[in-house]
Amino acid sequence: MIDTPADAPLLHDSDADSHRSSLDSYDSSDAVDESALVSPGIFIWVLTFCAGVSGLLFGYDTGVISSTLVSIGSDLSSRSLTTLDKSLITSATSLFALIASPLTGVLADSWGRKKVILLADILFVVGALWQAWSGTVWGMIVGRSIVGLAVGSASFVVPLYISELSPSPFRGRLVTVASLFITGGQVVSYIIGWLFSTHPHGWRWMVGLGAAPATIQFLILEFMPETPRWLVKANQKDRAKQVLLRVYGGGDEIKQMVDAVLRRVEKEIMEEEEAAGERSNPELPKTGWRGRMAKVNDGFAQVVAVGGNRRALIIACMLQGFQQLCGFNSLMYFSATIFALVGFQSPTLTSLSIALTNFAFTLVAFHSIDRIGRRRILLYSVPIMVIGLGLCSVAFNFVDIPTHESSVATRGIDNAGTRAWPLIILIAMIVYVAGYAIGMGNVPWQQSELFPLSVRSIGSGLATATNWGSNFLVGLTFLPMMDLFTPMGTFAVYTGVCIACWFTVWRIYPETCGLSLEEVGGLLRDGWGVEESVRKAGERMRERR
């Protein structure tokens, strides 16, 4: 049942028809056969790891806040933090990440992908040092906002960078490396937080340490290339070829493959330029900043107006929205609070199990995403999340939750009347996090493969903004929801979100595994492409066997 595709497209676009002439150019004879590649070469591994450092910082800076908040004491503005201070310090990062991602989406097109990574590094360093030296609550909020700008830029540009460099058979795995860095960064932040929590003013070290990896990456960036797709678009075909040859390795067969990849990219760019020429208003300026603004406006218009782009945007935003609305980050930010509520004696150590499970199961995703496929991995793993969340919701019903902080502090799991239920909650959360890490935690970051080159960076920026907008919403609403709906109701809401996610994925998310970036564009041009993609993925897997 799982792979039964939706039988008809949900949207019928008049524009799809009007674009058909240029779209007919997509056919399977254009496909570049990359099956001769047996493994990603050392060069692409090195680039993926260098770019992944930004993912480490993303994870570190989002994870470190929970231990920072409990260690600040009265170091800021010479008073204890109020609940409002804590909410502002936490949410400033997601809010500014939300603002940064569409803006840097535009910059990545004109400056190139690499320069946006560079910009993010500068912001990471400034933000880390600013926080470490801040003496007031508002100073800290400004520091967290600067880090937010960095996280927002890095979270969209790194998967984009890796995706545009990777040979298609390994793209899923290589992009998942970025998720491994994120979840690894969260584990490191929990450990550093725990180590420094007993030091006086240790929180300044916790936040300041983020500057070190960013400085290292800043220095390495000089030696990293721009992506071949961006280079071709910037009329630097020779440099693009050089990069592709280093990524794919040497040999005659490889040279032919590289030429074929280049031809496909050029063809896509030519088609897009033709279409843009037909659309453009002859009265609008072509050069200078006005020309650039007109291009940006055209980009935003095209991502919504052209059927294939719009479908890509809907899928990417849907996946990113569900990734956050399923409530995972409420565990990331508040698991220690939850574990204290249900009576665990060492809530911070217990919450490390959440971060570790997230990391360990992202490794499982890394191993299987290119074998199982993005769509299938989601259809298999979201039910695991539903089971974990459902069990959590039921188990909360049997736990006596104290209403006052004082009684939280004096309780311990051994004293809890119903000793088994808190453990069941922990196990259920681990099941949920495992399911999340295998699919939902990383598949949405494959977003850039859904968009054609002309709107890839704007589309990825908008999808990333959806991620941060939903992240902000969950961070803001989790504690009030726990009060209003009780923990049982809150987790039931997240269960409902996951069920809705499963059906939406089943209906509109095609299998993109193993397709070249240019082929994915072809898939979404006339419909959701689910049926065709599932059939082709089946054929590819049978061939591989």
Ligand X SMILES: O[C@H]1[C@H](O)[C@@H](O)[C@H](O)[C@@H](O)[C@H]1O
Site membership for ligand X, residue 381 (CB under 6 A): no
Distance CA 77, CA 74 (A): 7
Closer to ligand X by CB, 167 or 441: give it: 441
Q: Among 161-169, 175-183, 416-424, 498-506, which window interacts with ligand X (CB under 6 A)?
A: 175-183
Nearest to 507 by CA among 303, 302, 322: 322
Query: Considering the complex, what minimum distance in angstroms separates the CB of residue 218 from ligand X?
Result: 23
Closer to ligand X by CB, 56 or 537: give it: 56
> Is residue 472 a contact partner of residue 98, using CB atoms and an 8 Å limit?
yes
Site membership for ligand X, residue 466 (CB under 6 A): no
Site membership for ligand X, residue 186 (CB under 6 A): yes
Tokens in use for 191?
């450990």
How many of the other CB atoms lie within 10 Å of CB of 468? 25
Query: Considering the complex, what minimum distance in angstroms separates the CB of residue 315 from ligand X?
Result: 16
Query: Considering the complex, what minimum distance in angstroms separates the CB of residue 137 from ligand X?
Result: 24
Cβ neighbours for 406, distance < 8 A, ≥ 6 positions apart: none
Q: Among 87-95, 180-188, 379-387, 515-523, which window interacts with ligand X (CB under 6 A)?
A: 180-188
Q: Report CA-CA distances (Å) from 524 to 67, 106, 532.
A: 44, 23, 10
Query: Considering the complex, what minimum distance in angstroms separates the CB of residue 193 from ligand X?
Result: 15
Site membership for ligand X, residue 182 (CB under 6 A): yes
Whose tokens are 């004096």? That residue is 410
Binding flags for ligand X, 312-341, as an x/- string (CB under 6 A)? -----------x-----x--x---------
**Interface residue with ligand X, options 217, 351, 358, 447 (CB under 6 A):** 358
Site membership for ligand X, residue 179 (CB under 6 A): yes
Q: DSSP labels for 353-386?
A: HHHHHHHHHHHHHHHHHHHH-HHHHHHHHHHHHH
Tokens in use for 149?
């700008």
**Interface residue with ligand X, options 112, 193, 441, 469 (CB under 6 A):** 441
* Packed helices 237-248 and 42-71: angle between N→C axes, nearest 10 degrees: 90
Q: DSSP labels for 45-114?
A: HHHHHHHHHHHHHHHHHHHHHHHHHHH-TT-STTSPPPHHHHHHHHHHHHHHHHHHHHHHHHHHHHT-HH
Tokens in use for 352?
């490390």
Q: Among 34-42, 440-448, 479-487, 515-523, which window interacts with ligand X (CB under 6 A)?
A: 440-448
Query: Considering the complex, what minimum distance in angstroms separates the CB of residue 391 from ligand X?
Result: 21
> Is residue 430 a contact partner of residue 67, using CB atoms and an 8 Å limit?
no
Distance CA 142, CA 148 (A): 10
Q: Please give the residue whose beta carbon sits closest to ligand X in the complex.
A: 441
Q: Report CA-CA distances (Å) from 39 to 197, 268, 519.
A: 43, 26, 21
Query: Considering the complex, what minimum distance in angstroms separates the CB of residue 64 from ligand X?
Result: 12
Closer to ligand X by CB, 329 or 516: give it: 329
- As a residue count, the chain comes to 545
Query: Considering the complex, what minimum distance in angstroms separates the CB of residue 42 from ligand X?
Result: 26
Q: Among 123-131, 176-184, 206-214, 260-268, which window interacts with ligand X (CB under 6 A)?
A: 176-184
> Is residue 244 a contact partner of residue 225, using CB atoms and an 8 Å limit?
no
> Is residue 459 a contact partner of residue 312, using CB atoms and an 8 Å limit?
yes
Q: Report CA-CA distances (Å) from 243 to 273, 305, 382, 541.
A: 24, 33, 38, 29
Q: Among 236-244, 439-447, 496-504, 519-527, which window interacts with ligand X (CB under 6 A)?
A: 439-447
Site membership for ligand X, residue 183 (CB under 6 A): yes
Site membership for ligand X, residue 185 (CB under 6 A): no
Query: Considering the complex, what minimum distance in angstroms separates the CB of residue 91 from ligand X?
Result: 14
Query: Considering the complex, what minimum distance in angstroms separates the CB of residue 445 from ligand X?
Result: 6
Q: What's phi and psi for 138, nearest 5 deg? A: -65, -35
Query: Considering the complex, what minimum distance in angstroms separates the CB of residue 153 from ligand X?
Result: 14
Closer to ligand X by CB, 134 or 323: give it: 323
Closer to ligand X by CB, 5 or 444: give it: 444
Under rule CB under 6 A, how many of the chain's residues touch ligand X?
13
Tokens in use for 290?
């006005």
Q: DSSP labels for 467-516?
A: HHHHHHHHHHHHHHHHHHHHHHHHHHHHHHHHHHHHHHHHHH----TT--
Binding flags for ligand X, 128-167, as an x/- string (CB under 6 A)? ----------------------------------------
Closer to ligand X by CB, 350 or 442: give it: 442
Say which DSSP state 444 is in.
Answer: G
Query: Considering the complex, what minimum distance in angstroms separates the CB of residue 407 from ligand X?
Result: 30
Q: Among 36-44, 106-114, 178-186, 474-482, which window interacts with ligand X (CB under 6 A)?
A: 178-186
Site membership for ligand X, residue 95 (CB under 6 A): no
Residue type, 532: E
Site membership for ligand X, residue 54 (CB under 6 A): no
Query: Considering the complex, what minimum distance in angstroms separates the CB of residue 332 from ligand X?
Result: 5
The residues that touch ligand X, with contacts defined as CB under 6 A, are 62, 179, 182-183, 186, 323, 329, 332, 358, 441-442, 445, 471
